[in-house]
Amino acid sequence: MEKQSSKAHTRQRILSEAARVMRETGTEGIGVAALMKRVGLTHGGFYAHFASREELVQEVLKQMFVEAGNFVPAGPVTQPAQQLNDFIDSYLSEAHRNAPAQGCPLSALVSEVAHLPQPTRQIFAEGFDTMHAALAQVLRELALPDAEALASSMLAEMVGALALARACPDAQQASQMLQRSRAALKQRALKVAA
Residue ranges of the chain with pLDDT lower than 70?
Answer: 1-4, 69-77, 192-194
24-47 pLDDT tens trace: 888 888 889 999 999 999 888 899
pTM score, whole prediction: 0.85
**What is the full DSSP assignment across the chain?**
-HHHHHHHHHHHHHHHHHHHHHHHH-GGG--HHHHHHHTT--GGGGGGT-SSHHHHHHHHHHHHHHHGGGGS--SS-SSHHHHHHHHHHHHTSHHHHH-GGGS-HHHHHTTTGGGS-HHHHHHHHHHHHHHHHHHHHHHHHTT-TTHHHHHHHHHHHHHHHHHHHHH-S-HHHHHHHHHHHHHHHHHHHHHHH-
d(CA 132, CA 71): 11
pLDDT score at 143: 93
Ordered by where they begin, the domains of the chain are: 2-53 (1.10.10), 66-193 (1.10.357.10)
How much is the pLDDT for 166?
Answer: 95
Please tell me the predicted confidence (pLDDT) of residue 66.
Answer: 85
pLDDT given for residue 68 in this prediction: 75
pLDDT recorded at residue 144: 93
